[in-house]
C-alpha cells in the first residue's frame, strides 16, 4: 500500500505552485506544450492575445487551457486541429472559459481532440456548430 499512497500524494502535489501539473502561461504569442497527463495552463490576458498549443508527440496526454484573468479575448491556435473537420482556432472570451484536450494517434500523426469545454467558449463559424454546448 505504500506505493499507492505515494502515487496519490504525488498527484496531489503536482498542482502546487511549482508542481509539474501547472504549465506556466507563456505570454502573448507564446506556445503551450503539454507533456504529462492532466496538466493545466492558466492564461492571463491584458488585451486581445494569442497562444499556440503545440502538436502532441504521443497519445494519451490530457491537458487543459483555462482563461484565468480576462483582460481581453484569447485566441488559441491548436497545431494539427482539435476536431474531425480540422478546425484550429478557439476563442475564449471570459475568465473561467476552458477547453480540455486529449492526444490521439491518427494514421502516422498525433493530434489533439477536444474532450470538453465551458459553454461560453466560442468556436469559429467554420465549425459544424457555433452554438455553446449544454455540458
Tens digits of pLDDT across the chain (135 residues): 456 656 655 655 665 665 668 899 999 999 999 998 899 999 999 999 999 999 999 999 999 999 999 999 999 999 999 998 999 999 999 999 999 999 999 999 999 999 988 755 555 545 444 444 444
What is the predicted pLDDT for the residue at 18?
58
Q: Are 119 and 94 in contact (CB under 8 A)?
A: no
What is the predicted pLDDT for the residue at 10?
64
Report the CATH number of the 20-117 domain.
2.60.120.640
What is the predicted pLDDT for the residue at 13?
61
Which one, of 81, 69, 80, lies nearest residue 124 by Cα? 81
What is the predicted pLDDT for the residue at 128?
45
- Hey, where are the domains in the chain? 20-117
CA–CA gap between residue 64 and residue 112 (Å, rounded): 11
Amino acid at each position: 500500500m505504500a506505493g499507492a499512497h505515494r502515487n496519490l500524494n504525488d498527484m496531489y502535489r503536482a498542482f502546487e505552485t511549482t508542481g509539474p501539473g501547472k504549465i506556466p502561461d507563456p505570454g502573448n504569442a507564446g506556445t503551450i506544450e503539454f507533456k504529462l497527463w492532466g496538466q493545466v495552463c492558466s492564461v492571463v490576458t491584458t488585451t486581445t492575445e494569442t497562444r499556440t498549443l503545440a502538436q502532441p508527440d504521443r497519445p494519451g496526454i490530457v491537458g487543459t487551457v483555462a482563461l484565468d484573468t480576462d483582460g481581453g479575448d484569447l485566441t488559441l491556435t491548436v497545431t494539427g486541429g482539435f476536431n474531425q473537420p480540422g478546425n484550429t482556432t478557439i476563442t475564449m472570451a471570459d475568465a473561467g472559459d476552458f477547453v480540455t484536450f486529449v492526444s490521439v494517434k491518427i494514421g502516422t500523426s498525433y493530434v489533439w481532440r477536444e474532450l470538453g469545454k465551458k459553454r461560453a467558449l466560442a468556436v469559429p463559424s467554420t465549425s459544424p456548430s457555433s452554438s455553446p454546448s449544454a455540458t
